[in-house]
A and B are shown apart, each in its own frame.
Chain A
Amino acid sequence: MIGLNLANALTLSLVLVLIGAFGMLRRRSLILVLLSIEIMLNGANLALISFNFFLWGTSETGHYLYMLSIGVAAVEAAVGLAMVIVIFRNTRDVTRDRVSLLGETKAEAEA
């Protein structure tokens, strides 16, 4: 039941993705949202590696996609953190929705 098998590995990866999604939806600091996305990516990567090992062990395609995905994660983190720094420079606050200039109410007020 708790052994090393595909069902358990996929369960773990789903749990990670859902924890990441929870953080993405509920945390308001931009940095923590980015961290939550990293957790989601971890879950996805775990699914890749376990599929590769348990079902398709004749070629390392999943491992290769893992390498690509950490490249993508690095680029996304770099761009996201650069934006966080610019936002912090402008407002000294990295909370989303706190200093929001965009939105329906604003649009109506401008009219």
Chain B
Amino acid sequence: MTVPDILFAISAVAVALLSLCVVLARNPVRSTLLLILSFLPISLVYVLMQASFVAILQVMVYAGAIMMLFTFVIMMINPAPHAGEIPGEEPGAEPSRKSDVLWFALLALLGLVLIVPVRYAAVRMVAQPVTKPDFGGVQSMAQLIFTHPDHNPLTVSFELISILILVGVIAAVNFGRRQAHPTSGSATQANQLKDGNP
């Protein structure tokens, strides 16, 4: 047992418990915050695996940007008097705990079926990890991504992801856009939304 082993064990348990709480929590704000919290031990695991750049991205981009989006939206559509409650997530609206347990058992069984052969293969396959110098560092990542396009196998996928982000922007903007001539129904609903918050 070395220090990385202990750190990994602690963070693995923390990640699993926090994620479970995210799924089980009644309050969506709490869920989002717990998920953000669970990113910290995950990024610690990444650091232990020498993926320092990825660990930075996990905190700065994933937790800092993407999860903030969730928090904003939950705050935006949170008109209920009980703080942090979304309509439809009142206790009565949830499916029964009994079927929850049933599903949980089913998935746990599936997990067991999957985990056993994967662990078997992993134990058999692995020797000591051999990594190149500066593995996972910023400079090394930059060399991987930004080599000359003549012999860079990643060019096309990198360009495609930029198109994908453009598509996401177009889609989101179009949903946000108010119609030029809204029907009376949606107009009143929009007004309700505006002054519905006491």
Contacts and interface: CB of A to CB of B under 8 A. Distances in A.
Direct contact of A and B (CB under 8 A): yes
Interface residues of A, number: 74
B23 A10 contact: no
Contacts of B7: 4
Which applies to chain B's interface (DSSP): helix, strand, loop or mixed?
Answer: helix
Contacts of B111: 14-15, 18
Interface residues of B, number: 92
A63 B74 CA distance: 31
A94 B104 CA distance: 24
Which applies to chain A's interface (DSSP): helix, strand, loop or mixed?
Answer: helix
A57 B66 CA distance: 29
Contacts of B154: 64
B88 interface: yes
A68 B157 contact: yes
A85 B193 CA distance: 11
Given A77-B70, A93-B87, 6 more contacts: A7-B118, A10-B115, A10-B118, A22-B103, A77-B69, A89-B189
Interface of A: 2-12, 14-16, 18-23, 25-29, 31-32, 34-36, 38-39, 42, 46, 49-50, 52-55, 57-61, 63-64, 66-68, 70-79, 81-86, 88-90, 92-95, 98
